[in-house]
Chain A
Amino acid sequence: MIERLDTVDMMVNMGPQHPSTHGVFRMVLTVDGERVVAAEPVIGYLHRGVEKLCENLTYRQIVPLFDRMDYLADYNNELGLALALEKLMGIQPPRRAEFIRTILCELTRINSHMMFYGSFGGDAGVTTPFIYAFRLREEVQQVLESVSGVRMMPNYIRVGGLKDDVPEDFRDRVARLLPRLREGIEECDSLLTRNEVLLARTRGLARISAAEAIAYGLSGPNLRACGLAEDVRRTEPYSIYSELDFDVPLGQNGDAWDRYCIRLEEMRQSARMVEQCLEKMPEGPVMAEMPKALRPPPGEVYVRAENPRGDFGVYLVSQGGDKPYRLKVRAPSFCNLMALERLLVGCYIADCVMVLGSLDIVLGEVDR
């Protein structure tokens, strides 16, 4: 009976101007009533050719471009580039710089996950979590601002160390921030997590198995939601992560709910890491002895770092000049987006924004 009704599928174009596509992202959905039968993600609206631009810039000029990829994880991006060059040139940054880098990166992770939390609530149809998240972000933001002087695109982590030492009251400010953060995270948790409606919306939504997730190249919280303990900070520690005590939260079902829970838990772990860093942070210089011009020896290097959105890879080929021959970035958002089409088919239209939200992409990084 139903088969003979001959309904026509409708094409709905979601984005690039749409409140919940998290930037200029476009989904071309083919819907049968409220069900999605086919989905085609369209990207490239924010393409700036960052990787190509890098080939014409000196290494120090590249750092600001890295800020502008994943603009919610600017410090982490800078760290990725710094790690690559330091590895290629065999530079060991001072220990104080390493600790400050870690503190900044983990605070940025909290910032980024807070953004996820707020927008995920918005996608689900309630605006209050967004405001709560942004109040907390603001406090983190002020600490980051006191360090680098800006709220976004800090250009602070340099090859061999940091631009400057942190201000004198940095330790106090972070120490004062930590209890506020813990409190705020619990507040956000109790505001949204156990909400019956959110449970109804996210449990079992957009499930993906660990094997499939690997095949699609998912990483970060999206992969860990499938139960796989793959965290670069743990499996291939860089900087000082091997000295820190932290847990890697894992999901069980690989659904949108698990992806949400993992990010909440990661914020708590990040706060733990920041606390340890504060205790262990030594005094000393923040910049290694560096040559005037950065001319890494010919060769190639690939480094991985755990960004808030996943496994951030930098592949750098040098031919000995002061500019890279080729600089390729493995952007976690881009790779995570690959699974979107598979996850959307069979969903309801209402779920599309939540599935996209649960993958937590940043378009600046997808398009680059």
Chain B
Amino acid sequence: MSWVLDLALRTVAVLGFLVFTVLFLIWLERKVLGRIQMRMGPMRTAPFGVLQSVADALKLVLKEGLRPDGADRWVYHLGPVVAVLPALMVWVTIPLAGGLVVQDMRLGVFYIVAISGVSVVGMVMAGWSSNNKYALLGAARTAAQMISYELPLVLALLGVVMLAQSLSLGDIVEQQSPWPYLLLQPLSFALFLIAGLAELARNPFDIYHADTEIVGGPFVEYSGIRWAMFFMAEYVNLFAISALAALLFLGGWKGPLLPDVVWLLTKTYAFVLFIIWLRATLPRLRIDQLMALAWRYLVPLAFANILVIAFYLYYQMPGWTLSLASLAMAGIALVPLYRHWSGRAPARTRTADRGGLPKVESRA
């Protein structure tokens, strides 16, 4: 029975860690966003507002959970559960350091991809059952966005898996010494980051939230603890994608001097901060532009990337050739993308001659 106890303890530990992380992430995001926008961020609850997210969580738990008239009762109530469970389950196999993991799986990457794909179902359920048109639009957008970007995300992961010849995250990290995969295949990294941002629905891809258009998307009718569950799912996913980026491309917990966990968390939080920075800087793309980006650029590019890696592996070429090829492909890909978005030179305003139109006599 000891292995059951062991597993249970590890699970509880990870869950506790995640809850703490989510609370911290929310506080961090508000604080960093505030500083970027020349505000203080939360200040009132405890020094530096560190207890702000605790207070918010408490408020949400105590709030009444409303269900709109005409909402599909069971689907409406199950939506948040279906959304948050996969987000948590993914963490079964994400290590925080060598051995510091609930269960290192030989099929780890495959498991993560498979499980995280379920999250979208919960959101579509939420949007569909809310009996609200904004929620419905949000659900449609969620489905389109998440499924479209799953493809480049998985293909980017495939590149890493091919190089590492393993699906286990532990093995992949071990493979990355001395050179992290970021140097070996920057293109995979870029693809992963863009697709990851889209999966997280963070700026510039926060299309299915779109506060200013469809006022919150699938979650618009939710309140209280159910809404908090969606929120938790989002932040756990944010942390998971950041951790995966650190594990798969930055050498995971490898690093000099400091303990493993510190290294991994440092790298992970670097991504988190980057994503928060993007949120403060970039406006939102439109849904057609989002789809065009995925299907016209990212997916073909990801396939080309796989092909190049296959050549590299088959002919056993030196590592720098792959780095160069990867960089070159990324560069070539940027050209049409840049053209697509801003082909014409931005219009400058002209200056009118004195006089302009002929004078119009006013009636007096």
Contact = CB atoms under 8 A, between A and B. Distances in A.
Interface of A: 10-13, 18-20, 33-34, 87, 121-128, 131-132, 135, 192-201, 203, 227-231, 234-236, 247-253, 257-258, 261-262, 265, 300-304, 348-353
Contacts of B363: 300-302
Interface in B333-364: 338, 341-342, 344, 346-360, 362-364
B212 A19 contact: yes
B257 to A, nearest CB: 36
Given A235-B357, A302-B363, A265 B283 contact: no
Interface string B94-126: 000000000000000000000000000000000
B199 interface: no
Interface stretch (B17-25, B36-44, B45-53, B171-179): B36-44
A120 to B, nearest CB: 9
Contacts of A252: 347, 350
29 contacts: A12-B133, A12-B137, A87-B364, A123-B212, A125-B212, A125-B282, A125-B284, A127-B280, A128-B37, A193-B346, A196-B342, A200-B286, A200-B341, A200-B342, A227-B350, A228-B357, A230-B357, A231-B356, A234-B352, A249-B352, A250-B349, A250-B351, A258-B349, A300-B363, A301-B364, A302-B362, A349-B137, A350-B284, A353-B212
A353 B283 CA distance: 13
B212 A20 contact: yes
B288 interface: yes
A350 B347 contact: no
B39 A34 contact: no
B285 A197 contact: yes
Given A230-B356, A350-B210, A248 B287 contact: no
Contacts of A231: 352, 356
A261 B350 CA distance: 10
Report which residue of B207, B355, B364 has the largest number of chain A beta carbons within 10 angstroms of its beta carbon. B364
B211 to A, nearest CB: 6
A236 B204 contact: no
B162 interface: no
Contacts of B33: 127
Interface string B57-85: 00000000000000000000000000000
B96 to A, nearest CB: 32
Interface string B157-192: 000000000000000000000000000000000000
Contact of B362 (A194, A199, A203, A304): A304
A200 B212 contact: no
A139 to B, nearest CB: 13
B32 to A, nearest CB: 12
Contacts of A250: 349-352
Contacts of A33: 140
Measured as residues with beta carbon below 8 angstroms from the partner, the interface class of chain B is: 35 or more
B332 to A, nearest CB: 18
Given A200-B285, A200-B342, A125 B210 contact: yes
Given A249-B349, A261-B348, A20 B213 contact: yes
Contacts of A124: 212, 283-284
B289 interface: yes
A262 B349 contact: yes
B206 interface: yes
A236 B358 CA distance: 9
B341 A248 contact: no
Contacts of B354: 234
A-B pairs, 10 with minimum CB distance: A125-B284, A229-B356, A124-B283, A229-B352, A248-B352, A249-B349, A131-B37, A20-B212, A247-B351, A200-B341
A140 B213 CA distance: 30
A249 B52 CA distance: 47
A87 B363 CA distance: 11
Contact of B213 (A127, A193, A203, A352): A352
Contacts of B283: 121, 124-126, 192, 195, 197-198, 201
Contacts of A194: 346
B351 A126 contact: no
B347 A201 contact: no
B265 interface: no
A236 to B, nearest CB: 6
Given A195-B282, A230-B357, A235-B359, 4 more contacts: A125-B203, A200-B286, A350-B210, A350-B284
